[in-house]
Amino acid sequence: MAASPAQMAQLGQLLTQTTSGNTQSMQAATEQLRAAEAQPGFGLILLEMLRGASVDAGVRQAGAIYFKNYIRRHWSAEGAAAVISPADRQAIKQHLLSLMLQAPKTVQVMLAAALEEISVVDYPEEWQSLLPEIVQHLKTSQDMTVLKGTMETANTVFTKFRAQARSNQLLKEVKYTCQGFQETHLTIFKGAVQRILGGLPPDQLVLHFELVLATVGVFYSLNVVDLPEFFEDNRQPYFEGFLGLLKFHSDAVAGTGDKPGLLEQVKGAICECFALYTDKYQEEFAPFLLPCVKDVWELLVGVDQQEKNDQLVAKGIQFLSSAASTHWPQSPFEDPNVLSGICEKVVFPNIVLRDSDVEMFEDNPLEYVRRDMESADQETRRRSAMDLVKAMGKLNEAKVTEILVGYVKALMGQAGQSAPEQAERFKDACIYLCIAMAVKGQTQRDGVTVTNPNVNIGDFFTSLVISELTSANPVTNRSVLRASCLKFITVFRNQLPREQIGAILPAICKHIAVECPVVHTYAAICIEKLLSVRDKNAQGQSAPRYDPAAMRPSLLQVVDPILQTIASGKGIPMNEYLMRTVARIFGFLKQHGAEAGLATLRPLSQILLAMSDNPSNPVFNHNLFEAIASIVKVCVPMQPDAVEAVLLPVFGQILERNVVDFLPYTFQILGLLLDATPSVKPLYQALFERLLTDQLWRAQANVPGLVRLLRAYFSKHTSFAELLRSHMEAILMRFQFILCNRKTEASAMDLLNSMYMHLPIEFYQQHFKTLITVVLSRLQSSKSPKLQRDFVISCSLFMHRSPSNLLPQAMNEIQAGLLLNILGSVWMTVLKMSLKLDERKVCTLGLAKLMALDEVKQNPQLLNSCCVSLVALLNLLPATGKVEEEGSDDDAPLADMGAGLEFEVSFSKLRNTDLPGAQSGLAPDVPDLHAAAKAVLKPNFGPAVMQLAQANAELQPLANFCSDDDAARFSITELPGLLAPAAAVAGPTLRGGAEAGGRPEPATAGGVQYSKEQLYVRLWGKVLSAWRPEFCAQLTWDHALVRSRVSLS
């Protein structure tokens, strides 16, 4: 890992420039460093510089941050896109842990993050030396600093087990880790706890608590997937140690003020372990339940109201919540006195606002909103107390509700006799107690779905919420209570009647102009959530509950006050919630907001330009672009020139100044504008070559936006024919580059699909064989089910859109028999996966074309498998196939757009970057899958499928589908279930006929004798006639039974 002094000096100088504060200097240094990354040994030189004690501390820290970002950008890249060579990878892994343990704290944190990134990809299969190295340090070192750092590293590496879905591979990795680490872990834990409880000087106590904190974290990570045998056998020493630590106290490790110390962190982590065992391993935890509940209860009652204890209290309450909602042979929560004591001593004290909470409400409104309304990562006492109420109510709903209703009545009585400030807090607590009691089930997207029938939400809404929001008092009064009332409406938006919401909407909108940041933010959130409420209509389809035309006047009145608040920086700077409401309003109003939307674009573009100087809030940036996109989507089809006149100059500046945070969004909206414009502006011609520059594609956040914009160029290929033809090789090089990185390979397949959908085959036919070879090579090296799925969908799309022989010919030229091999090993597997409707369309039609090939027809086993897959794709059986719902993007929750310490931009797709009815799906040319499939299958495969169905009953539905008579595809045994809804419509008619002495159908008609089965079919024909006459007219019910060859039991 040797580097020359000249290399070290140059690297140090560049890193110094990246933190100079001079924009041009920083950008130039970053470009040079990015260019140097491709040189062999770059990462090793960085590590060598970090090792040097003589290097300036600021340079070392900048180098550590750059190294972490370098690893994050390149470690997951494979094949042609790989920047870090295998030799460099091995050397980095060989030296990283030892270097990290020796580094100062600021550098150690960055190296630990880099190590975590590598371990997520490589551990354990590609980094088998890591675990033995960790164990060796823990067994041999006498230095507490090294022991602590090593255990923290183990905690960092093993944390990945917490986020992964259970699988055989994950269980294998956990087993390997446990077998290599478990005994050392227990030895370290027992020794550290023994020394802590035995008494240590303050400096040693701090180191030991840091070691124990990491050790408890490892315990959680190794137990989170399944209960390893070793940990089950050694529950006693672990839980004895946990309980001993819960009772321990020392000011040397306790927090002060609002910052939790190591003592609070360790006790909170222990409560998390208790909750884990309560949730997953009840039988093994049962012997420890009572002492754990007792000690945690005493801990919660004993801690004071200081903010340093908030996380500990929240985690302790979470454990009690988990225990209270679980059936136990001997449960302490069945005693009414225990429930009453918990409500009195745990719930009530933690649900009433403290002075520090009110201070946060006034002085740090953003943090208050995130903790209260958005359920931020940091748990709060209030939210944990509310969760405890729900948990206790799970098994003792009536009793807990009775106790708390009594508390609510008592609080309302006290509020009438208390000073105004205290009365406001009591009423606020009542609202939150009501929410805690009433909510039994909810989702982030849909809100509350199940409520407690013992709580009358409507009465509470009428008696307290409406009266407060519509009172004659100034809206600036009782801000805390008004915010709580707005939250109540937000929470119960599904349960409150449309008429009541319509009546109170003007009062809600009035609170947008209130100066208090929390109040106007809660009002904005309330409006945004109300507009997302949807109900099922008569046809069973989801539709907005509220009428855009009726709500338009109230909604448009809040837009200008919101934009003025944002532009002036009042309240919460760059208020992401206000901007999200603007986006939702125009997404909801659609055409009803077109005229106002065009006028709103200009102030939005001015805000965008102002934010481009320092785009520091990624969530606000996302919502800002979402608001612009929601307006553009509606306005651009009608007035493309007016929209482009406002936005193109701003986007031009963003591109010219290379505002990296805004590029991913700019590319998406430019794609939308290009799709809609009737006349291509010069900017698009000038921009094209820059879109293919290597630097843009190396920033992973840019890739999906670039693909979206290229899709627009492809769809306008007649205007860009020369550009596209001359740059096709460069486009395919970018395709190969992003395909070789697992983080961008999905975007690579999107790019390929865009080519297949929008470009004539002549544009890329000469490269097609090479293209398929590249994809197959990646498929072979990746083994990713997601990539296999994307590959089959892409190939199916090509088969559907292009001449049928090109793909088979290319595959068989690459390797003889390759097509049949791919069909049997990959294709059939993918067709069993969950697929969206447009994916099923292209997969069905692509497979039908492949089945027409002689090599497939002459392979009976493969042909049979293809037919079985068609049964699933066409949904010919009620229980066949998993069909993904086509959800509405308008209601999707925002993704996590946050940037971490690396200050790297992450991509988040805008919801409104496709025109209404645009070709965003894979099969816009196939409105009816069954009709299209039948047009292909019936003339080519009818007899063949009938023959196969005689030997395989599984194919009978497909045989019915391909037969001459449309009625034949209906199985008579399915009719009662299929037509149950029709019976409600036609039943009265049929009953009326019987009451009049008539019969559903005579035994003979027109000289034809009918059997009972045929009469049954004709009777259901009557039912269908009443329900869907236009459909029934196409069917010959007299012969459906005979032709489908299905008998009735």
Mean pLDDT, rounded, for 488-496: 95
Can you say whether residue 513 is alpha, beta or left, with left for phi > 0 and alpha for psi between -120 and 50 degrees?
alpha
Q: Is the peptide bond before 561 cis (omega within 30 degrees of 0)?
A: no
Quick check: 1023 pLDDT over 60?
Answer: no
**pLDDT value at position 576?**
95
pLDDT of the residue at 92: 95
Average pLDDT for residues 187-202, to the nearest whole number? 95
| % residues pLDDT > 90 (the chain) | 62
Q: Is the pLDDT of residue 917 over 60?
A: no
- Say if residue 872's pLDDT is above 80: yes
Would you say 588 and 545 are in contact if contact means Cβ atoms under 8 Å apart?
no
Choose among 25, 84, 24, 33: nearest CA to 63: 33
pLDDT at 1010 over 90: no
Among 970, 1000, 967, 968, which Cα is nearest to 983's?
Answer: 1000
User: What is the average per-residue pLDDT within 415-436?
Assistant: 91
330: exposed, middle or buried (Cβ count in 10 Å: 0-12, 13-18, 19+): exposed
What average pLDDT score do residues 260-285 get?
96
Among 63, 70, 52, smallest CA distance to 106 is for 63
Helix (H, G, I), strand (E, B) or coil at 1009: strand
> Which alpha helices (DSSP H) does 123-167 contain, by range?
130-140, 144-158, 160-163
Q: Which of the four pLDDT bands, split at 50, 70 and 90, describes residue 905?
A: low
Instruction: Indicate the SS3 state at residue 757.
Output: helix
Neighbours of 1040 (CB within 10 A): 24
CB 919 within 8 A of CB 470: no
Enter the pTM of the model: 0.76
Q: Would you state the pLDDT for residue 1012? A: 46
**Quick one: what percent of the chain has pLDDT higher than 70?**
88
pLDDT tops 50 at residue 887: no
CA–CA gap between residue 782 and residue 350 (Å, rounded): 51
Q: Lowest mean pLDDT: which of 20-24, 168-172, 280-284, 1026-1030?
A: 1026-1030
pLDDT on residue 223: 97
Question: Rounded distance, CA 196 to CA 245, Å?
Answer: 8
pLDDT score of 16 more than 70: yes
Count CA within 13 A, CB hemisphere, residue 43: 26
Q: Look at the block and give the residue holding tokens 């997601």.
A: 786
Q: What is residue 77's DSSP assignment?
A: B
Mean pLDDT, residues 675-691 taken together: 90
Mean pLDDT is lowest, of 286-295, 550-559, 1024-1033, for 1024-1033
Residue 165 or 761, more confident: 761
495 backbone dihedrals φ, ψ, rounded to 5°: -90, -25
Q: What's the pLDDT score for residue 1022? A: 52
Query: Could you write out the DSSP letters of every residue in 287-321?
Result: HHHHHHHHHHHHHHHHS-S-GGGHHHHHHHHHHHH
Residue 649 has pLDDT above 60, yes or no: yes
| Tens digits of residue pLDDT in 73-85 | 899 887 767 889 9
* CB atoms closer than 10 angstroms to residue 383: 21
- How far apart CA 343 and CA 321 sit, in angstroms, is 12
How does pLDDT run across 689-718, given as a tens digit for each residue?
999 998 899 888 999 999 999 999 999 999
Place of tokens 């209703």: 405
For the cut 90, the answer to whether the pLDDT of residue 232 exceeds it is yes
DSSP string of 320-335, one letter each residue: HHHHHTS--TT-GGGS
Around Cβ 199, how many Cβ atoms within 10 Å?
9
Tell me the pLDDT band of 359, cut-offs 50, 70 and 90. very high
Cβ-defined contacts of 872-881 (< 8 Å, 24+): 872/831, 872/832, 873/831, 873/835, 873/840, 873/843, 873/844, 873/847, 874/844, 874/929, 874/930, 874/933, 874/958, 874/961, 876/957, 876/958, 876/960, 876/961, 876/969, 877/957, 878/974, 878/977, 881/835, 881/840
Report how far residue 100's alpha carbon sits from residue 159's, in angstroms, rounded to the nearest whole number.
18
Q: What crossing angle do the helices spanning 785-801 and 837-851 adopt, rounded to 10°?
A: 60
Q: Mind listing the pLDDT tens digit for each residue in 135-188?
A: 999 999 989 999 999 999 999 999 999 988 889 999 999 999 999 999 999 999
Confidence at residue 458, expressed as pLDDT on a 0 to 100 scale: 92
CB–CB of 713/754 below 8 Å?
A: no
Instruction: Categorize the per-residue pLDDT at 894 as very low, low, confident or very high, splitting at 50, 70 and 90.
Output: very low
Is the distance from CB of 537 to CB of 543 less than 8 angstroms?
Answer: yes
Q: What's the burial of 10, exposed, middle or buried (CB within 10 Å: 0-12/13-18/19+)?
A: middle
Q: What is the DSSP letter of 973?
A: G
Residue 696, both tokens: 């843009």
Between 1035 and 570, the more confident residue is 570
Under the banding of pLDDT at 50, 70 and 90, the label for residue 942 is confident
**Residue 878 pLDDT:** 64
Beta strands 542-544 and 1008-1009: pairing type?
Answer: unpaired
Tell the residue number behind the tokens 């403290």, with chain if given. Answer: 354
**pLDDT exceeds cutoff 50 at 611:** yes
Residues facing residue 110 across a β-bridge: none
Give residue 903's pLDDT: 38
Residue 335 exposed, middle or buried by CB count within 10 Å (0-12, 13-18, 19+) = exposed
pLDDT category of residue 1018 using cuts at 50, 70 and 90: low
The residues, ordered by sequence, that sit 6+ positions from 549 with a Cβ below 8 Å of its Cβ are 592
Task: Give the model confidence (pLDDT) of 328-344 as tens digits.
Answer: 988 888 888 888 989 98
Phi, psi of 508 (to 5 degrees): -65, -45
Residue 406 main-chain phi, psi, to 5 deg:
-60, -40
- At 1017 the pLDDT is 54
Pairing state between β 1008-1009 and 447-451: unpaired
Residue 977 has pLDDT above 50, yes or no: no
What pLDDT is recorded for position 951?
83
Pairing of strands 534-536, 542-544: antiparallel
DSSP H or E segment with residue 714: helix 703-715
Three-class secondary structure of residue 447 per DSSP: strand
Q: What is the mean pLDDT of residues 112-138?
A: 95
Secondary structure element (H or E) that encloses residue 871, with its range: helix 860-873
Exposure class string for 619-629: b at 16+ Cβ within 10 A, else e: bbbbbbbbbbb
Region 745-766: what's the mean pLDDT?
Answer: 94
Confidence band of 415 (pLDDT split at 50, 70, 90):
confident
50 touches 99 (CB < 8 A): yes
Contact (CB, 8 A) for 1004 and 932: no
pLDDT at 374: 75
Q: How confident is the model at residue 4 (pLDDT cuts 50, 70, 90)?
A: confident
pLDDT of residue 378: 58
pLDDT of residue 1036: 40
Question: Which residues are within 8 A (CB) of 744 and not within 5 positions of it... i.e. 6 or more apart?
Answer: 700, 703, 738
Q: What is the mean pLDDT of the chain?
A: 86
